[in-house]
Amino acid sequence: MTTPVWVQLVYLLCAVCFILALKGLSGPRTARSGNLIGAAAAVVGCTVPFFYLDLDHVALILGAIAIGTAGGLVGARRVQMTQMPQMVALFNGVGGGAAALVALLELQHLGDDAGWFELAATAFTIVVGSISFSGSVITFLKLQELMTSRPVIFPGLPVVFGGALLAAVALSVVTVTAPAVGVGVILTLLGLLIGVLLVLPVGGADVPIVISLLNAFTGLTVAAGGYVLGNTLLLVAGTLVGASGTFLTKLMAAAMGRSVANILFGALKGGSTLGAGEISDRPVKSAGAEDVAILLGYASKVIIVPGYGLAVAQAQHTLRELVDVLGERGIHVDYAIHPVAGRMPGHMNVLLAEAQVPYEQLKEMDDINGEFKQTDVVLVVGANDVVNPAAKTTPGAPIYGMPILNADEAQQVIFMKRSMRPGFAGIENELLFDPRTTLLFGDAKDSLGKLLSAVKSL
């Protein structure tokens, strides 16, 4: 069926809106409007087929849309900021799984006159979409702590993984030469197995990077599915997601100081970003809120290093109030944002934007690292690995080679921690035992509240 010209024009407009949305999401000031533009384009793109296609099972389609919309609304409203990476993983997995199912159903309608490239795109969508689905489920289970976040390996895993990969390639060739639904089903099962085996060896801080990689996989499957269905909008949208996910994966890997291959397969040869995780009993210097308030209140320059613990405690609003009070005292305060702080890219930016922290105060690692030497006090709130000197000084450490924030160069360092439990990488942080470091133990929100009151009373 030839697509009407008006439909092609609407799809072209939607594609432009997707590009504008992606551009808007690149900055905090425009992220909200970019998100709305993209969502509106997606709604229009999903609605248009009802006006020019003779659809079957319309009631079932509308019912599925209603269920999906309700699930999305409930998830978006109820999921806490600390659980956002898990939700992203699930949504991404559902996208990959949907693309695989559509390609599997389309396989039974492709006749003998189907071109080899169309069949190859179908096989690709089935395999990679299945990998994205099962891999995303495993990342969800790891981040939600429904299974261990440590690397899971077993004897013969590389052999099984390699065998499944070769079998998937062979069956993909069979799908192109002799397409059959039965072959497609086996291909789906192999893709699910590959996805599980791909993510199981990944542990610790590497999981968010794998989510980004799987997001790129989903984008590529959607693009391939768009080709199979002859839908230009799907092709454009999938390409955008695939390209942006790939770039993001490479940027995050660079921020960890490691290659994507090492992140995926490092545990198979003994490497991982997750260490032993023992709680240290070494003596440290600790203080109460009043003593820490004196250090902050009489400083001239302070840098805040936020981390996942800030998100867990939901203490971003109290932290912003503290920074405002320090600013009223003439103290220059900036936030140092590490690219992989939190559990997903931009986690800290979104968290602090929610507390209406001025964007000008948020400084990326490369921009602020040179300022630590001239800083009187660094306040680390719920972060650990992103300021751990082991990344620079300890070859063989799980995070060795990862670029970090140079908090160890400041005059004084204040760590706000619940306990001496190590960070997500599971290794000890020598900065905690530095004579210039003072620890303030307790829940971040409670401790910041006490600290705020103490600074006000100075």
Res 280: pLDDT: 66
Average pLDDT over residues 258-283: 66
Tokens read off for 48: 């248009």
Indicate whether 275 pLDDT > 70: no
Answer yes or no: is pLDDT of 277 > 60.
Answer: no
Buried b (16+ CB within 10 A) or exposed e, 70-106: eeeeeeeeeeebbbbbbbbbbbbbbbbbbbbbbbbeb
Task: Name the pLDDT band for 110 (thresholds 50, 70, 90).
Answer: confident
Q: What whole-number distance in Å separates Cα of residue 184 and Cα of residue 358?
A: 52
- pLDDT tens-digit map of 155-175: 889 999 999 999 999 999 999
At residue 419, the pLDDT reads 81
Question: Would the pLDDT of 269 be above 70?
Answer: no
For the chain, the structural domain boundaries read 88-269, 289-456
State which fold the 289-456 domain adopts: Rossmann fold (3.40.50)
pTM above 0.85, yes or no: no
Q: Out of 324, 385, 408, 443, pick the active-site residue.
A: 385
pLDDT at 355 over 60: yes
For 145, phi and psi rounded to 5 degrees? 60, 30
Question: How far is it, in rounded angstroms, from Cα 187 to Cα 168?
Answer: 6
Question: Token pair of 254, please?
Answer: 């660079």
Residues 232, 29: Cα–Cα separation, whole Å: 30
Residue 276: is its pLDDT beyond 60? no
> What pLDDT, in 10s, does the model give residues 362-419?
999 989 999 999 999 999 998 888 899 988 888 877 778 888 999 999 999 999 988 8
Structure tokens at 68: 């999906």
- Reference 390, options 373, 375, 408; nearest CA is 408
Q: Which residues of 239-272 are buried (b: 16+ CB within 10 A; e: fewer)?
A: bbbbebbbebbbebbebbebebebbbbbbeeeeb
pLDDT digits (tens, 9 = 90+) for 174-194: 999 888 899 999 999 999 999
The yes-or-no answer on residue 334 being catalytic is: no
| Amino acid 253: pLDDT | 81
HSE-CB for 49 with a 13 A CA cutoff: 17
Q: How far is CA 109 from CA 88, 102, 158, in A?
A: 32, 11, 36
